[in-house]
């Protein structure tokens, strides 16, 4: 079975994932779809190709695709309407007797707050003082000065004081990551990444034609001795890492480990690309790598994990004097972030609402992590982490058959890395009671 190439339908790109999976063809198709949803490649409401089109693109028979779509429907991934097509199902509210999403790494609903009401208030205030035509027009690619200043203020707990001129507003962390890899590397370059790494990084590096070398990890993330050895051997162009609540292992570098990683990279002249998606979640955030070495670190911070993924907004903090080149690379991929969403986030930061939401997300995350500690005692992760890691566990068909959507190590392994594990996301379940039942079921399955 060969994956599709050159399909005119962007929603068919997930079919390429089947090449890396094992098992019967129908299960590979369903699992590829499940991974694409879990990692954000496909979003709720996206239309996927018709079954006959998939059969044609992949080169398999129609009945196999029908069986795969039926399995995906059983897992709660898709829904179809006669005459309209097949769409990714919204997972906002679980059927109490159906699938529980432990795969999508979302922030939980902020305790004590109504996001809908806050959004209505913000958009109302923005529209009251801004000409709607302005919001619908093209805007500077790097963001306005007010937006960049708000970003600098938002990131101060982990970065300290930052010149807004170094801040670039981006339409999501994945867009920022893609732009920086384009800007900082050339096809054929080598980059270092954690042995288990963010799938978006691995996919983008592969499309860019980069060689990814996996660095071994321990309980604090990158192992300094291994990192030093691999840098000397491979002379990479970039070191890519997530220092806080690493995805998927939930490891967090302590301050001494951060100092060691920065010292090794600085001595070798290797630029660091820091994906700090979770850096603001701890009650007392540790200094970002970019705070320890401003001249050598490109920092990415998204609002998706601290506030809401629907905002589709992230910030790049470039080393002094390097923001313009990074902004140009970003502009080539995505001309600008959505002006209304950028205005909402800026408004929330200025008015203190963003801090309130972050505190609410943190409070709920702590409660859910405590629940996981009780019901899933082998899981690893910090007290405010949105996800935990079950080393050695696998996403078996039995888990899926029992309505648990999970993501296993195969989605995160960098080339050459070995080992099994499950990333268990704690935020997507709408209710703690639903999460509790799912974790109890998972513990029973993985402890056998």
Reading the block at residue 428, the tokens are 């997507």
pLDDT of residue 11: 62
**What DSSP line would sit under 313-367, residue for residue?**
-EEEEPPTT-HHHHHHHHHHH-S---HHHHHHHHHHHHHTHHHHHHHHHHHHHHH
Residue 436 burial (CB < 10 Å; 0-12/13-18/19+)?
middle
Tell me the two tokens of residue 371: 């629940």
Question: What is the pTM (predicted TM-score) of this model?
Answer: 0.80
Measured in degrees and rounded to the nearest 5, phi and psi for residue 39 equal: -95, 0
Sort residue 129 into left (φ over 0), alpha (ψ -120 to 50) or beta.
alpha
CA-based nearest residue to 337, from 355, 306, 358, 316: 316
d(CA 9, CA 296): 39
Q: Quote the pLDDT of residue 5.
A: 46
Which residue is listed with tokens 């399955």?
445
Phi/psi of residue 239, each to 5°?
Answer: -115, 120
pLDDT in tens, the chain (448 residues): 555 544 445 567 888 888 888 888 898 898 888 888 877 788 877 889 999 999 999 889 999 999 999 888 877 788 876 667 888 887 544 444 457 889 989 999 999 888 889 999 999 999 999 888 888 888 777 899 999 999 999 999 999 999 999 999 999 999 999 999 999 999 999 999 999 999 999 999 999 999 999 999 999 999 999 999 999 999 999 999 999 999 999 999 999 999 999 999 999 999 999 999 999 999 999 999 999 999 999 999 999 999 998 898 999 999 999 999 999 999 998 888 889 999 999 999 999 999 999 999 999 999 999 999 999 999 999 999 999 999 999 988 888 778 888 899 999 999 999 999 999 999 999 889 999 999 999 999 887 6
- DSSP secondary structure of 405-431: E-EEGGGTBPTT----EEEEESSSSSS
Instruction: Compute the distance between CA of residue 281 and CA of residue 205 in angstroms, rounded to an integer.
Output: 27
Name the burial class of residue 210, with classes exposed (0-12), middle (13-18) and buried (19+) by CB atoms within 10 angstroms of its CB.
Answer: buried
How is residue 148 annotated by DSSP?
H
Q: Distance between CA atoms of 1 and 338, rounded to whole angstroms?
A: 39
Q: Is 113 exposed, middle or buried (0-12, 13-18, 19+ CB in 10 A)?
A: middle
For residue 283 the two structure tokens come to 């009650």
Let me know if 192 is exposed, middle or buried by CB neighbors in 10 A (0-12, 13-18, 19+): buried
- State the first-to-last Cα distance of the chain, in angstroms, to the nearest integer: 34
Q: How far is CA 192 from the centre of its chain?
A: 18
Q: Is-cis flag, bond preceding 248, omega within 30?
A: yes
Domains of the chain (ranges; CATH) run: 10-90 (1.10.10.10), 101-114+357-446 (3.90.1150.10), 115-354 (3.40.640.10)
Is residue 272 classed as helix, strand or coil in its secondary structure? Answer: strand
């Amino acid at each position: 079975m060969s994956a599709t190439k050159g399909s005119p339908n962007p929603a068919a790109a997930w079919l390429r994932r089947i090449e890396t999976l094992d098992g019967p063809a129908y299960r590979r198709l369903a699992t590829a779809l499940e991974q694409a949803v879990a990692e954000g490649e496909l979003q709720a409401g996206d239309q996927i190709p018709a079954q006959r089109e998939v059969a044609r693109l992949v080169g398999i028979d129609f009945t196999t695709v029908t069986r795969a779509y039926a399995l995906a429907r059983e897992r709660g991934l898709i829904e179809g309407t006669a005459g309209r097509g097949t769409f990714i199902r919204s997972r906002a509210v679980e059927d109490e007797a159906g699938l529980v999403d432990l795969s999508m790494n979302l922030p939980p609903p902020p305790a004590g707050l109504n996001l809908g009401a806050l959004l209505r208030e913000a958009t109302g205030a923005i529209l009251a003082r801004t000409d709607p035509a302005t919001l619908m027009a093209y805007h500077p690619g790097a963001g306005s000065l007010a937006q960049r200043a708000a970003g600098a203020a938002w990131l101060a707990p982990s970065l300290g004081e930052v010149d807004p001129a170094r801040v670039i507003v981006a339409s999501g962390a994945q867009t920022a990551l893609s732009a920086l890899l384009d800007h900082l590397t050339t096809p054929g370059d080598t980059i270092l990444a954690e042995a288990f790494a963010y799938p978006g990084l691995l996919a983008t590096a592969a499309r860019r034609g980069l060689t990814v070398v996996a660095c071994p990890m321990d309980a604090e993330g990158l192992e300094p001795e291994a990192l030093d050895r691999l840098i000397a051997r491979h002379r990479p162009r970039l070191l890519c890492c997530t220092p806080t609540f690493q995805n998927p292992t939930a490891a967090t570098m302590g301050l001494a480990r951060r100092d060691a990683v920065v010292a090794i990279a600085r001595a070798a002249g290797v630029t660091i690309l820091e994906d700090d998606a979770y850096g603001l979640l701890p009650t007392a955030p540790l200094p970002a790598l970019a705070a320890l070495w401003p001249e050598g670190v490109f920092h990415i911070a998204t609002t998706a994990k601290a506030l809401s993924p629907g905002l589709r907004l992230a910030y790049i903090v470039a080393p002094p004097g390097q923001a313009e080149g990074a902004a140009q690379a970003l502009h080539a991929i995505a001309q600008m972030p959505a002006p209304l969403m950028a205005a909402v986030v800026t408004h929330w930061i200025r008015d203190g609402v963003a801090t309130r939401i972050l505190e609410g997300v943190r409070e709920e995350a702590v409660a859910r992590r405590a629940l996981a500690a009780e019901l899933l005692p082998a899981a690893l992760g910090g007290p405010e982490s949105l996800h935990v890691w079950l080393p050695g566990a696998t996403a078996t068909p039995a888990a899926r058959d029992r309505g648990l959507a999970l993501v296993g190590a195969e989605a995160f392994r960098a080339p050459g890395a070995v080992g099994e594990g499950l990333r268990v996301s704690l935020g997507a379940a709408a209710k703690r009671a639903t999460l509790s039942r799912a974790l109890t079921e998972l513990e029973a399955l993985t402890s056998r």
